[in-house]
Each structure stands twice: as structure tokens, then as C-alpha cells.
Chain A
């Protein structure tokens, strides 16, 4: 493997406290080393450009059954967004739900090295892994969903944290999953009865357990196991006007929980796409719809065991997809477009609906503003990560556009004055008009690499240019001294990196993808627990009584579905 030295770039690394210093970054044998430790390295001239560790995406939907349903039932999404094979590059297609190939290339062009698939239905884990393997270049992991799982609901109802933890450990090993995701806790299961859980104290029918208990129990089990990532929640009442109270109730469940892990993670709860959970008002139709981002951020800023990601609406036509089945049903009745849904036996459900965030409507404009407000109101950017909940609030390829809005007040004003039809109402009923903060490159590095790597428990591998970390380095064609006049330069630069090294391999050279990557890995967490005959018996019973597959046909066979694993071992036997 060739060694590389990236010379004279403006380096941004919040972990090392480097803020735009002109330095050299070296990669040897796939790892970052001190610049003096390489001798016969290939030189890359980064003068006048920005150098960072490669990006880490904490939450995106880029592999698995619902993503594939989105691809299948939206041929029109690929109609005019196709580029043929050329050179080493394979054919790419799709806008909001790109093919696996385009997903890999998009991440590479945006300078990312790792992405977490945010919701894996355990029963369909095999499919998720097939798509992960087919996605070139980037390392990936996937979070199985637990928030509506029958085992979890029953154990938590009885306050059996140890059994919950044992079941989680078993399922992670079966599905080759990375951590604990929880979508609309209890609500998706309630939907099977035609109901939902709209607050944290609504009771799930039959199981007689509340979202509050589920979130609390899953955090406790997550910390009992000492998993690298914290509990990752998509709260109740997503997208409902007036839901910020439910959001605060959900966040407050983390009070009293302490992080327990060997990975340097400080958060016990990660709340995803928080934008969809910060709404005031009574309904979309009333004049009362407003931003409550400040109220939610006041709480987030006052605690140190919560992280979140933004979920910025990018005002595009996109494809929504979530394990929040009742929400997708609701959405399909708002726009009357096509709708796909499924119930995943004892585990979860999901729906898929195309959606257009129309800048000519007040609601879409307010949603756009609220997402950005969260990023602008955060005190410690290590706790707030930039996402679009891709593709739910916007396609993956819009990340650079979100950076532009966060980094340039001028770009935001242009949106409010010239693009949004109800820009004045958005200024009135949201906080965006009073926020003139501009996220710096140093803060951007926290919000897109250092922070997500830390909360995923991967800061020993990603998110910094510290010697010994993975050789994931990106050079963006952005000069922090002379390119600050034009916000469009931000969007261009972060969508078209000049150079990407992934694990020491040259992937993007002079803005062109030159390799499909050889080292792509699937990360999963193997948590060792004490023998638990109760849980073993319960699993065997449930498979015999309820599942349509046998227990023997359930597991993801690692050698076949995860050909290049990176296993993080956790010992929870003590």
C-alpha cells in the first residue's frame, strides 16, 4: 500500500485543536502517522485547500428493504438522474434513493468514510447487509430497531433490564448489528391495533407498556452492555404540530442515566432528526404552526448526556421512509401519493411515501428553518450532527447545501428573501431571522466527523487526524482565507472533494473517483453476556409460536453476508 503525504493544506481537527493551521498530514500503511514518519510517500499538494479527517455520518437510510422499496416503486426518481459507466466508475442512478453504487460515490465525493444505516429490521438484516456489501468505498454499520419488538416490550414491562440486555446482545450477533435504534417507541406496534403512541405515557395495547418505559429500559440495557453507541431514538409524534413537549419528555428520560463504556462516549441518548420534533402550534392548517427549536435547545444545551442530529429539510422532492408506520400512513393521506408499507412480524413496521417539500408553502419553509436553527443554537457543536435524515428530509447529495446554509447568513437570507414564498412568515414564526451565527470550518469538523465518531464510539478510528487513526483524509477545494465571499463555493467544495484517502487508499484524485475501494468493511458489535436461559427459552418459544422462519434460518451468516467484517468486541459478563 502506497504512503501519502498531503502537503500545505489548511487543517481543521477539533480533537487535536488544530484550527486552520497550514500543515502536512501523512498516511502510512492505511493509518495516519506523523508527517516525519513517511519517507517515500506520494505527495498530494493541498495548498490553498481545506484538509479534514473523512466525514462520519451518524444517521442515514442508505441500505436495506425500505430503501430498496423506495428504489423499486420510484422509477421516476431515476428517470433523468442517471450517468453511464465511465473508466473505473460504474453506472450511477437515482436522486432521492440512489443505487448502492451512487451512494458509495456520493459519500466519496462528499469526503465521507463511514455511514451508519439508521434502521435495520432484524428479520430483513440479510438484505441490509447485501446492500451494504454492494455499496462501494465507505465503511458502514446498521442499527437494528428495538422500540416495538415484542421481546423488548415484554421484558421492559416487567422491569427486566438484564433480560433486555441479553436479548439485545443476542440480536446484534444474529443480525450483525451495531447498536440500539428505537423508532416511535410503542407507537409502531400500537398501529397494529389501528392506534399510535402520541405521548411518552400512552399505553401500548396488549403489552401494557409506555414509550417512557421503553426508552428508559433501552437506555439502561444499552449502558448495562456498555455498547460503543448510545441508544438512538426517533421519538413519538414525529412531524406533529405541537410535538416539542413530547420531545422534551423523551429527552428528559435520559436524566439519571450515566454513560458506561470504554469508547469515550459521553452521551446516553442520541435523538435523531430533531427538526421533525421541534414544532409548536395546533395543526398544519392553522396559523399557529411555529418553531420551538429554542425551547428544545435550551434543554439540550443544559445537559451533557444527550446528542442529536439535525434532519434539515432541503426543499426537494424526495422519498420518505421510516419504521414509523403510522406516520407514513398519515403522510400518504396528506399528499395522496403512492404508499408502500409492511409489518415485520414481531419486530417493527415501515412505510415509504414520496414527498415534495415545496418552498412555496409556509410549512416547508418553517421546517427548513427549524433544522438550521438547531445547528445554530447549539452551544457545543460536538453534540449536534448535520444530517438530512437522508432521504426523509432531503437527499443525501444535499449535505453540502446544508453546510452552506449553516456557514453563511447571506445564503440563509437569500433563501428567506428570494426562494421561500412565505419568507416573512418564516422569520416571524421561527427563530431563524434572529440568528446571525455562521458555523466555522472548525465547528463543521465537529458536527460532521469528530462529534459523530465520538457518539458512535468510533473516535479511536475516525473523526480526527491523530496518529494511529484510520487513514481517512479528505481535501476540499475551499480556501478558508480567500473563498469566503461566495457561499456557493462552500456547496461546490464539500460536494466535490479534491482528494479522498480511505484507509490509506486513494479513492478520489483531483475531483475524480479513481477507485471503487478494496477495503470496505461492515462494522458490528459482538457483546458477550452471561448465559441467560430465560432469554434463550423465550427466543426459542417465540420462533416456534410466531415467527414465519425458524431460528436456524434467522441468523445473518457472517461469512456470506458480511464478507469483510470489523467486529467490535464488548465484554458485558461482569
Chain B
């Protein structure tokens, strides 16, 4: 697999909007052509090469192109946006919108990522070794199509509003999360290994949320149904099953009303 290495050479004065850092865009381009791709800094359009040293070789297609990003990209947004295939490895922290609207391929962030990562994602894998910000796997502002497929795995903590309007796919958080998890959720799975604060599953229609730790304040729209023994992401345990959000509309399948399911580990 061909590998392109981007090494950050200077810190942008404003946030760098670099939606061109994607295997789909890099594929088939020479190092010089990649350095000429545009990035936005505020209202100005500049060159990727102004901020990164570009080395290595790109593959002929996105699928056989790997991008390795070294140095400080904590002020670089949109890494891997809309990518369909290939791989991106970020050796450090990245700014917002990592893997937003991605439909395939793999992104590994060895540091943390900021808000809106995996936004509206439909496929592929996003792995974050550090923490994730707010609106992870959520919907774009105003949209009703949050994460629809693929998998997001965060080793550390995540912020608030995880999986808003989520419709499919899986989000696994190793640590704790802030308020608002799975708001308006219509499908998919969210697993929180640590604690959650308040408003988990508010206006949830369908889908599953698993919380291994505590929920500080439970939504009043969830009703306890029964205890179940299940395996969740490799961990076996007893969970209390709650269904909700009772105040929301719910469809029926074979005469049975379908609710969102919230599992809390004993």
C-alpha cells in the first residue's frame, strides 16, 4: 500500500480547513500536486504545502492510499472528510470534523479529536485513542440524518450530544460521556463503558444504548422492563433494560410497539 506522509511545518494563525486531506483526493497525485491542493484559512485560500511537508507516494486509488499525519494538527479541521476508502493515521490531536460524512476506509487518531467527528458518517471505521469532542457521530446542524453506518471507537472520554439523530452504525466510548447521548436516535448502537450524565436517549425512537457505569439523572420517559444477561462488545454481564422515550412516537412491528432500548449494567 502506498504511503503519503504529511508533516506539519507551522501552526496556522486561524483554523486550517483541510477537507482535501483524504485518500480519495490524494490518490493518483504526485507529491508536488498534493502540495498544491488548497486549504482555507479564514476567507483565504492557501496551499497544503504551505503548512505541511509532503513526502512518499500516493496509490492509484483511494483504497491503496495511506496518509500518515505527523506533527501538531490540533488546529486542522476536516481530515478525512467524505473519504470512501483507504486509510488515514493521525499521530497527534486533530481539530473538528475528522471523518465527517465518511463512507468507507479507516481513520486512526492516536491523539484526541475535537467536535463533530464522524458527523453524518455512513460507513468505515473511526478509531480515536484519546478523547472525542461534542457531537460525535451526530447529524449536521438541522439535518435529521446522523451517523448511519460504520463504527466509531473512542478509548477515552467523549463530550456531549453523542449520536444525535443516529440511524445506524456503532459508537463505542471507553470512558465517560457528557449530557445528551442518542437524542432523537432512530437506530444504531451506542456503548458507553464509563458514566453518563443526564438526558440519555431523550426523544429516542429506536436503537440501543448501553451504559456500563452510572447515569447521573435518568430521563423520565424511560420505563424499566426486565433484567437481561448479555454480551456487549466482548463483556458479559447483567443489564437492566429500560424502554423509551415513552413521550416520542413509535412504530410497530408484528403488532408490537418498537421502543428505544437503554441497558444499564449492574
Q: Note whether A and B form a binding pair.
A: yes
**Chain A interface residues (CB < 8 Å from chain B):** 73-77, 79, 336-338
What 5 A-B pairs are tightest by C-beta distance, nearest first?
A76-B143, A75-B142, A76-B142, A75-B141, A76-B140
Residues of A within 8 A of B143 (CB): 76, 79
CB pair A74–B144 under 8 Å, yes or no, is no
CB pair A76–B249 under 8 Å, yes or no, is no
Determine the residue in chain B with the shortest Cβ distance to A79: B140
CB pair B249–A74 under 8 Å, yes or no, is no
The digit string for B231-263, where 1 denotes a CB below 8 A from any CB of A, is: 000000000000000000100000000000000
Q: How far is the CB of B77 from chain A (nearest CB, A)?
A: 15
Q: Which of B144-174 contact A (CB under 8 A)?
A: 144
Provide the bound-state CA to CA distance between A338 and B184, in Å: 12
Select the residue from A74, A75, A76, A337 with max chain B CB neighbours within 10 A. A76
13 contacts between A and B (CB under 8 A): A74-B142, A75-B140, A75-B141, A75-B142, A76-B140, A76-B141, A76-B142, A76-B143, A79-B140, A79-B143, A337-B144, A338-B142, A338-B144
**Chain B interface residues (CB < 8 Å from chain A):** 140-144, 249
CB pair B249–A336 under 8 Å, yes or no, is yes
Provide the bound-state CA to CA distance between A391 and B59, in Å: 43
The majority secondary structure among interface residues of chain B is loop
Provide the bound-state CA to CA distance between A79 and B142, in Å: 10
Q: How far is the CB of A380 from chain B (nearest CB, A)?
A: 44
Provide the bound-state CA to CA distance between A74 and B142, in Å: 6
Provide the bound-state CA to CA distance between A75 and B142, in Å: 6
Residues of B within 8 A of A74 (CB): 142
Residues of A within 8 A of B144 (CB): 337-338
Determine the residue in chain B with the shortest Cβ distance to A78: B142
Q: How far is the CB of B103 from chain A (nearest CB, A)?
A: 14
Determine the residue in chain A with the shortest Cβ distance to B141: A75
Residues of B within 8 A of A338 (CB): 142, 144
Residues of B within 8 A of A77 (CB): 142
Residues of A within 8 A of B140 (CB): 75-76, 79
CB pair B142–A73 under 8 Å, yes or no, is yes
Residues of B within 8 A of A337 (CB): 144
Residues of B within 8 A of A75 (CB): 140-142
Q: How far is the CB of A74 from chain B (nearest CB, A)?
A: 6
Q: How far is the CB of A557 from chain B (nearest CB, A)?
A: 34
Provide the bound-state CA to CA distance between A75 and B139, in Å: 12
Residues of B within 8 A of A73 (CB): 142
Q: How far is the CB of A285 from chain B (nearest CB, A)?
A: 14
Provide the bound-state CA to CA distance between A337 and B141, in Å: 14
Q: How far is the CB of A496 from chain B (nearest CB, A)?
A: 25
Q: How far is the CB of B139 from chain A (nearest CB, A)?
A: 8
Q: How far is the CB of B260 from chain A (nearest CB, A)?
A: 14
Determine the residue in chain A with the shortest Cβ distance to B140: A76
Determine the residue in chain B with the shortest Cβ distance to A74: B142
Q: How far is the CB of B218 from chain A (nearest CB, A)?
A: 25
Residues of B within 8 A of A336 (CB): 249
Provide the bound-state CA to CA distance between A75 and B119, in Å: 15
Provide the bound-state CA to CA distance between A74 and B143, in Å: 7
Provide the bound-state CA to CA distance between A338 and B165, in Å: 12
Provide the bound-state CA to CA distance between A484 and B249, in Å: 52
Provide the bound-state CA to CA distance between A336 and B141, in Å: 17
Provide the bound-state CA to CA distance between A552 and B25, in Å: 60
Q: How far is the CB of A269 from chain B (nearest CB, A)?
A: 38
Provide the bound-state CA to CA distance between A30 and B114, in Å: 57
Select the residue from B140, B141, B142, B144 with max chain A CB neighbours within 10 A. B142
Q: How far is the CB of B45 from chain A (nearest CB, A)?
A: 9
Determine the residue in chain A with the shortest Cβ distance to B144: A337
Q: How far is the CB of A331 from chain B (nearest CB, A)?
A: 15
Provide the bound-state CA to CA distance between A336 and B248, in Å: 11
Provide the bound-state CA to CA distance between A336 and B142, in Å: 14
Provide the bound-state CA to CA distance between A338 and B144, in Å: 8
